[in-house]
Amino acid sequence: MERPVLKTKSWLWGFGKLAIANIVSNLMVPLAGLIDTAFLGHLDDIQHLAGVALATVLFNFIYWSFGFLRMGTTGLMAQAAGRGDITEQCRVGLRGLMVACALGLAILLFQYPLRWLGFAILQADRDVLDAGIAFYQGRIWGAPAVLVNYVLLGWFLGLGRGRWVLALAVVSNGTNILLDYLMIFKWGWESYGAGLATALSQYAMLVVGAMLLGRLVPWRQVWQQGQGLWRRRDVSALFRLNRDIMVRTWALLLSFGLFTSLSGAMGTDVLAMNTLLLQALMLVSYFLDGIAFAVETYAGQFHGQQDDAKLRSLVLLGSGFSVALGVSAALAFTMWPRYLFGLLTDHQTVLDQLSLYVPWLFPVFAFGALAFMLDGYFLGLTAGQVLRNSTAIATTLGFLPLALLAHRSQSPTLLWLAMTCFMALRAITLAWAVPASLADRPTQ
């Protein structure tokens, strides 16, 4: 089915190619998001930009809660590839696809209770909430495609198919940009158009992903997997991994969701400003994730081969590249804030406030870069418990106390301090767990 990546002449060369392919494909995602922001940010009413930011918090909770479909698939697939176990590769992928289809249909079934609950919790002015609800009503129909695409991405990443991941990103985000232009600019559908464009682009990605999968999977063997597909031991291990990843994801979402919600409680201008700064963080995160995804693939395969020496080298290499990239990105946004953020909005009051808070990107990017890379490392090892504990500690001890204090004092500065402490604790706790992972690598 697939030749393991680590059998190439030089794993360093293979790692570099995979990281570059991942970075390029990842950049298509924020490009589409930045195009969304640019279209909406240049409308006469700023509430469309703020409303979509608010609704995106809800979608992050919905979709990222099922991020284990991508993360768990990548680690398990990479380990199976490292062992040369083609049968297990097929089983991991099929399990994921079946679970994704069921969960995606469940989201559609419960879309109205989810909308009611989500917008009852989020805080903003009435016109901002209306814009957010319109975006939600367009985007929610893409739920099944989103979750199936998670599995397809995990499948291809686990096998080191960086070019295929890039192809899916080009299709999805290219379609999204085109539909944004039509639905927002030409047809005037505003927030609803932005949501519907995103949903339809996911189905375009699904179609191309299914075609690529057809070239990869030996379909004659698929029908033979039924007996071993749901073995109790494998399902139990998968459940534990997915549970830990889900808890880790919820802790992340709680921090970022509260950050946006508390920003909204401080006023529309503060929400718009922090939305733009978070867009910068998200943009850089896609660079960092390109490295983290490559680390995840190789960590899983080296784990499958029980090669601790290469795992150590992988951690050092990934750390150096990630931190250097994070600090460089923060420097660029600090030196040219009005030019870079001016591409996204021409509201002068928002741009005036940005210059006061851009320096916070330095510690957030530096600590975040290390945390992102180590996330990939432990995902490759399928060490879900480490990820769960690290993020829970960072949220409860690093973010929440300062965020609540920021809300009480209505201070954006304290809110960014809370985000900095969150990233710092994630990086520190994950780095602390690396030596133990090499001495006694988990074998879930």
Q: Lowest mean pLDDT: which of 45-49, 148-152, 177-181?
A: 45-49
pLDDT of residue 5: 45
User: Per-residue pLDDT tens for 32-60?
Assistant: 656 666 677 666 666 777 777 778 778 87
User: Per-residue pLDDT tens for 382-399?
Assistant: 888 999 999 999 999 999
**Closest among 346, 31, 344, 55 to 192, alpha carbons compared:** 55
pLDDT of residue 8: 43
Amino acid at 394: A
Name the percent of the chain lying above pLDDT 90.
28
Name the percent of the chain lying above pLDDT 70.
84
Tell me: pLDDT of 353 over 90. Answer: no
pLDDT of residue 433: 93
**Closest among 307, 309, 377 to 83, alpha carbons compared:** 307
Tell me: pLDDT of 363 over 80. Answer: yes
Tell me: pLDDT of 226 over 70. Answer: no
**Closest among 363, 285, 297 to 157, alpha carbons compared:** 297
For the segment 6-34, the average pLDDT, to the nearest whole number, is: 69
Q: Lowest mean pLDDT: which of 215-224, 287-296, 357-366?
A: 215-224
pLDDT of residue 209: 94
237-250: b (≥16 Cβ within 10 Å) or e: bbeebbebbbbbbb
Tokens of 281: 């963080």
400 — pLDDT class (breaks 50, 70, 90): very high
The mean predicted confidence, pLDDT, of the chain is 83
Tell me: pLDDT of 230 over 60. Answer: yes
Amino acid at 132: G
Q: How far apart are CA 185 and CA 267, in angstroms?
A: 27
Tell me: pLDDT of 436 over 50. Answer: yes
pLDDT of residue 364: 93
Tell me: pLDDT of 108 over 50. Answer: yes
User: Per-residue pLDDT tens for 210-220?
Assistant: 999 888 776 66
142 — pLDDT class (breaks 50, 70, 90): very high
Task: Say how many C-beta atoms besides its own lie within 10 A of residue 102's C-beta.
Answer: 11
Torsion angle, CA of 300/301/302/306, rounded to 10 degrees? 90
Tokens of 39: 């279209």
pLDDT of residue 185: 78
Tell me: pLDDT of 9 over 60. Answer: no
Most confidently modeled range among 95-99, 367-371, 380-384: 367-371
Phi, psi (rounded to 5 degrees) for 47: -65, -20
User: Per-residue pLDDT tens for 114-131?
Assistant: 988 888 877 667 778 888
User: Per-residue pLDDT tens for 237-258?
Assistant: 777 887 888 889 888 878 988 8
First to last CA, the chain: 23
Q: Lowest mean pLDDT: which of 28-32, 104-108, 289-293, 406-410?
A: 28-32
**Closest among 325, 254, 234 to 283, alpha carbons compared:** 325
